[in-house]
Structure 1
Amino acid sequence: MVSQELAPATTFANVLTDAVRGEGPHPQPAQVTTALLEAERQAKQQRYGVDAEALLGSWQLRFTAPNKPAYKAGQPVGKGFYWPAIAPGTIRFSRAENQGDALTIQNQLMLGPLKLQFSGPAKFLPKKNLLAFDFVRLQFFVGRWQLLTLPISGKTGNGEAFPTTRISQLPFFAFFAATERYIAARGRGGGLALWIHSGE
């Protein structure tokens, strides 16, 4: 159980802003998990809308609570942790060329000179703040050298069926916060994530 609730004078926005700060003391993981849950709850209550344009660009994973955190009996339950800087994870959303509102997604994990990338098509449903996607390509790099690029069989095969595939059949992120500094979402598996804008 999350043991540390937000004090009345400390809003979830303050905690999340402090969590993505580059320097200085950061909030305890329990506080960040609680702040994410509160941000999600308020977004639902206020029918907060996320603009797809606010998601475009590169975002570095800052914090994750993977084990389906939630409110139970009015109390926040779930554990999270700051993502280790030694293995930065980055997600990038961009417009697909000549495809209207279609998007692309790239998910990248680095460890020293090693870089693993998954990419594929994505689409955003503004009424539900859902960004659905499918990974259809894998690439592996050592430094600047690309050693491997492979098509992978995602939920929609090679991606051709993606535009007509139902959201219920795809992985997705349900976004509940999007600012110039950070974005936050719950994944289809139930985990929460907080990303910081990488400046790219």
Structure 2
Amino acid sequence: MNTSFSSILDRAAQSSDRPTADAMVTALQQAEITARREKLVIPFESLLGEWRLCFATGASKDKQHGGIKLGRGYYLPKFTPASIAFTRDLESSTGTATNRLLVAGGQVQFTGPCRYPGKKNLLIFDFTEIQLKVFGLTIYQGKIRSGKGSGQDFEKLSISKLPFFAFFWAGTNGIAACGRGGGLALWVRDELSS
């Protein structure tokens, strides 16, 4: 898929010459519409690895027109990296999702099961554990009460009860998805894990 939105997303994923926030929101919307229209299938393998959150939009309900209204969007600074990582269990559609935020020598990490059934490029996840570190030293690790399920229970839970990302673009250096709340995001290949 070599289109204008693809080149904008690629450019944002691999350079410091980043497109404007408006151009990114437009490119993400175009990529999402195109993926839906063309019934794009993104293999689970394309999502595996660690990805740093590069750009995100918020979303709110649009009461006047119905549906969702996207926020302006913003780039996240590299000095406070937020990342997500997906691993896969041996040749299955299940695995582990890890969400990590680093701030001023501290790290908050959420981990839990994920599954990628292949329908609509949905990656369903549930964070069930939290870990807090300060300067590399674990100060807390435990279960999260809000986790809906773990292990065998997770695989039986309905998509309607769990958070998910609907992926609509996967390039060599980046992936993009819509979250359950309607916001759009671009993650880039984490240089530290490459």
Q: Same fold (TM over 0.5)?
A: yes
Contact 1:89 1:110 in 2 (8 A): yes
Q: Deviations over 1:119-162 (max 9, x none)?
A: 00000021210000000000001122111101012342455410
Paired position in structure 2 for 1:89: 82
Q: Sequence identity, in percent? A: 37
Q: Is the 8 A contact 1:58 1:91 kept in 2?
A: yes
Give yes or no for the alignment of 1:167 onto 2:141: no
Tell me what 2:120 maps to.
128
Instruction: For residue 175 of structure 1, report the CA deviation from its aligned partner.
Output: 0.2
Letter of the aligned partner of 1:141 in structure 2? Answer: K
Q: Which amino acid aligns with 2:162?
A: L
Secondary structure of 2:11's partner? helix
- Structure 1 pair 176–147 and aligned structure 2 pair: CA distance change class (3 A): same
Aligned pair count? Answer: 185
Deviation at 1:112, TM superposition (A): 2.3
C-alpha distance in 1 between matches for 2:51 and 2:99 = 10
8 Å contact from structure 1 (residues 136, 159) kept in 2:
no
How far apart are residue 14 of structure 1 and its match? 1.4
Quote the Cα distance in structure 1 between the aligned partners of 2:18 and 2:131. Answer: 34
- Per the alignment, residue 106 of structure 2 pairs with 114
Of 74, 80, 101, the residue aligned with 2:93 is 101
How far off is 1:86 after superposition? 2.5
**Separation of aligned partners in 2, 1:54 and 1:77:** 26
Letter in 2 for 1:60: R
Q: Could you say which residue in structure 1 is the equivalent of 2:12?
A: 19
Separation in 2, partners of 1:37, 1:69: 17
Residue 40 of structure 2 corresponds to residue 66 of structure 1: no
Offset at 1:41?
Answer: 0.4
The 2-side partners of 1:189 and 1:151 are apart by: 24
Contact 1:138 1:149 in 2 (8 A): yes
Structure 2, unmatched stretches of 5+, are none
| TM score, norm. by length of structure 1 | 0.85
Residue equivalent to 2:137: 145
Quick check: which one's helix share is greater? 2
Task: Give the Cα–Cα distance (whole angstroms) in 2 for the partners of residues 99 and 159 of structure 1.
Answer: 17
Aligned to 2:47: 55
Contact (CA 8 Å) 1:64, 1:192: kept in 2 or not? Answer: yes
The letter for the 2-side match of 1:12 is: F
TM-score, normalised to structure 2, is: 0.88
| Distance across 1 between alignment mates of 2:171 and 2:124 | 20
Q: Which residues of structure 1 form unaligned runs of 5+?
A: 1-9
